[in-house]
Chains A and B, each alone.
Chain A
């Protein structure tokens, strides 16, 4: 067994201390390089538009619906009168929801919501494929505005995805979403031509489920 003297122990400790400083310096150096790369390469990608710039000012008449249940088959609001909402789209054109006279499928979309981002192009494809019969309209509500989240502002997203139907812009407090009992997005409310709620569904819908919603609004009318 090798003998250690106080002198050799001191040398070992000094060597350990020296190595620790080197390792610590390497660690600090790596972090410093990461910050420098961050400073040099990061780009601020935020939009100049705020929620206040985008949000609409819709008016809501009628009684608000209760929060949509998880099971759409057990919806106590089925058959209730829909709130009537008058508002505008992103360009200031008037959009109305819930008024008797025409059946509507109302889809509530949040631009930052990845499920909505997946749903919207599928809806566009479904409409383009002729899934929407005459007399039934798909109206979107751009809601839950948040300019800190990705995919802002919403109007650019709707345009990019090629949705050509009317888009009612909710206010900053998401009053329209609240009036229709939104629990999560995407959220669908089917309103028959008498202005009654035929069905409410939370989640992504495929073409078959959209066909079924159309049947509900047509069957109820």
Chain B
């Protein structure tokens, strides 16, 4: 059951990566369609935050994967996004980026450092017996670890929240 959940989250992370890239291109080219800006961006960002939060809780509380220190910092950034984005989507508040981008930016920086430690364990030094950050609990398709999926989620959420801004 956990293997199925892990693979499903990995597939969703790939979908989120595609969303992040496409939306970033649209932002750079200033061609965000109105339907995306007004109706899809914030609900989709909320859905990504909810799936990421639910996934992290499932893997720690059901699968028993003990979160390491860096996992906790990423959780601190991700969990509030479900509420912030949910409220913003409900009220169609295009100013959500003011809160979301700092939180997602902080989470992204931590996720990048976490990925670096996973790829090069000597950066992390030693293995804390309880919860070492270099431990790869999940590695789907050969590269999708938990902080990699978190990074993709943070980037997709940031892009979507910026895309939701209306011209002033």
Interface residues of A (CB under 8 A from B): 16, 19-20, 23, 27, 30-31, 33-35, 37-39, 41-45, 110, 112-118, 144, 148-150, 174, 182-187, 202-204
Contact = CB atoms under 8 A, between A and B. Distances in A.
Interface stretch (B6-14, B76-84, B94-102): B6-14
A184 B43 contact: no
B3 A42 contact: yes
Nearest to A31: B12
Given A31-B51, A43-B3, 8 more contacts: A30-B12, A34-B9, A38-B10, A42-B4, A115-B124, A148-B64, A150-B136, A186-B126
A191 B64 CA distance: 37
A173 B92 CA distance: 54
Interface stretch (B103-111, B127-135, B153-161): B127-135
A34 B8 contact: yes
A38 B4 contact: yes
Interface string B40-67: 1001100100010000000000001100
B12 A34 contact: yes
Contacts of B126: 115, 183-187, 202-204
A94 to B, nearest CB: 27
B136 A34 contact: no
Interface in B100-155: 118, 121-122, 124-129, 132, 134-137, 139
B136 A114 contact: yes
A42 B125 contact: no
B21 interface: no
A202 B65 CA distance: 24
Contacts of B9: 34
Nearest to A116: B127
Contacts of A184: 125-129, 132
A27 B121 contact: no
A114 B132 contact: yes
Given A34-B15, A184-B129, A185-B127, A115 B137 contact: no
A27 B4 contact: no
Contacts of A43: 3
A114 B139 CA distance: 13
A34 B11 contact: yes
A149 B40 contact: no
B25 interface: no
B32 to A, nearest CB: 16
B153 to A, nearest CB: 14
Nearest to A33: B11
Contact of A45 (B3, B125, B128, B129): B3
Given A115-B121, A185-B129, A23 B43 contact: yes
Contacts of B124: 114-115
A19 B43 CA distance: 13
A186 B15 CA distance: 38
A117 B119 CA distance: 12
Contacts of B132: 113-115, 184
A35 B8 contact: yes
A31 B11 CA distance: 9
Contacts of B12: 30-31, 34
A27 B47 contact: yes
Interface in B1-36: 3-12, 15, 35
Contacts of A203: 125-126
B37 to A, nearest CB: 13
